[in-house]
């Protein structure tokens, strides 16, 4: 039996008006689906933050959390997004 390593993802979600949310997950598909559901009363639903505009894969949780913490400033988030997704397309589509 092969040892499967868990992958972690740092991701940035956006609304059409470019309100941003940054997170870490070990299941990007599930987490994006949760954002798209927009649970009532949540920040995500209030601002309609449902577009995956950036993600990167990390080998361990500490690396992912460290990368996420470096994405605190809005300008840093925008630079990361535009480095791989200059049109801000929904990458989950």
What is the H or E stretch that residue 63 is in?
helix 61-69
Q: C-alpha angle 89/42/72, rounded to 5°?
A: 60
- How far, in Å, CA of 65 to CA of 85, rounded? 22
Q: Please give the pLDDT value at position 10.
A: 96
- Does residue 45 have a pLDDT over 90? no
- How far, in Å, CA of 12 to CA of 72, rounded? 11
Residue ranges covered by each domain of the chain: 8-84
Sheet architecture: strand order including 20-25: 20-25, 8-14, 51-58
User: What percentage of the chain reaches a pLDDT higher than 70?
Assistant: 96
Fold of 8-84: GIY-YIG endonuclease (3.40.1440)
- Does residue 69 have a pLDDT over 90? no
């Amino acid at each position: 039996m092969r040892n499967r390593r868990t992958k972690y993802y740092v991701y940035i979600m956006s609304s059409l008006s470019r309100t941003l949310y940054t997170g870490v997950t070990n299941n990007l598909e599930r987490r994006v689906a949760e954002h798209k559901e927009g649970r009532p009363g949540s920040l995500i639903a209030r601002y309609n933050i449902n577009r995956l505009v950036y993600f990167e894969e990390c080998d361990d949780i500490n690396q992912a959390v460290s990368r996420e913490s470096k994405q605190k400033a809005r300008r840093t988030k925008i630079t990361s997004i535009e480095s791989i997704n200059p049109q801000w397309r929904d990458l989950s589509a």
